[in-house]
Amino acid sequence: MKYTKILIDQKGRKYIFKNDDLHTKDGMIKADEINKCEVGETVKTHIGTEYTVIYPNITDMLQKAKRGPQAITLKDAALIAGYANLHSGSRVVNSGTGSGILDIFLAGIVYPEKVLTYEIRDDFAKIAGKNFERFGIGNVEIKIKNIYEGIDEENLDAVILDLPEPWLVINFAAEKLKIGGILISFSPSIEQSKKFHGALNMNFLQETFECVLRNWDMKVVRPCSRMIAHTGFITVARLISRNKKLKF
């Protein structure tokens, strides 16, 4: 993947370079000057303020992505990717594309394989598509389809769901996952998670948890007064068989 460049000022403010003259609060920078810069080099605005040119990392992308529906946070995306056991070449289906935030995260991990992402709303798919284009991400395929009606892909390493009724996808996922593959549901409500858990059978080993993130202010060596607390529950289910019929 070839990412666009971003420019950062001395206070850490970030600007996305869109291959056009860049207008900042400190003045304008010609597109030709930015294009000439290698990452790590600096370029000056017309009034002499310096900006450093770098490629965006995943945090930059999530901060600068256009938002539509409520987006998943980096703390949850990182846990989902880790528990899904994803790596380069993994085959993953995601459903509930929204703004494409999770897909952006997953695309960098499974590259050069594609992320297949299911979305039923055209307006959300358009927002996600613009975000992928904005950051030069070419290995995400958006499918305008209701995943409650089935999964097209075979031999999957992971299926990830951010849906109101994820339990409706369990049987489809069990058919299309490899043995040992991972089914993950992210739900803001514990009642959703409970119902998803109740619909899993003995073919799956599962656990549910949430992630609470607390930053520290190292100038005074104490926790920051604000924190990212509850955002949702993550249920991880590992497919170990297709033969067992008993419920947990």
Q: Would you say 101 is a known binding-site residue?
A: yes
Q: Would you say 150 is a known binding-site residue?
A: no
Q: Top-level CATH class of 6-56?
A: alpha beta
Over the chain (248 residues), the average pLDDT of each successive run of 10 is 79 88 92 92 93 88 75 91 98 96 95 97 94 91 98 98 98 97 97 96 94 92 88 97 65
Q: Would you say 100 is a known binding-site residue?
A: yes
The pLDDT value given to residue 3:
59
Q: Would you say 41 is a known binding-site residue?
A: no
Q: Would you say 40 is a known binding-site residue?
A: no
Q: For 59-239, CATH number?
A: 3.40.50.150
Residues of the chain with CATH 3.10.330.20: 6-56
Residues of the chain with CATH 3.40.50.150: 59-239
Question: What is the reported pTM?
Answer: 0.84
Tell me the three-class secondary structure of the chain, residue by residue. CCCCCEEECCCCCEEECCCCCEEECCEEECHHHHHHCCCCCEEECCCCCEEEEECCCHHHHHHHCCCCCCCCCHHHHHHHHHHCCCCCCCCEEEECCCCCHHHHHHHHHHCCCCEEEEECCHHHHHHHHHHHHHCCCCCEEEEECCHHHCCCCCCEEEEEECCCCHHHHHHHHHHHEEEEEEEEEEECCHHHHHHHHHHCECCEEEEEECCCECCEECCCCEECCCCECCCCEEEEEEECCCCCCCEC
Q: Would you say 99 is a known binding-site residue?
A: yes
The pLDDT value given to residue 59:
82
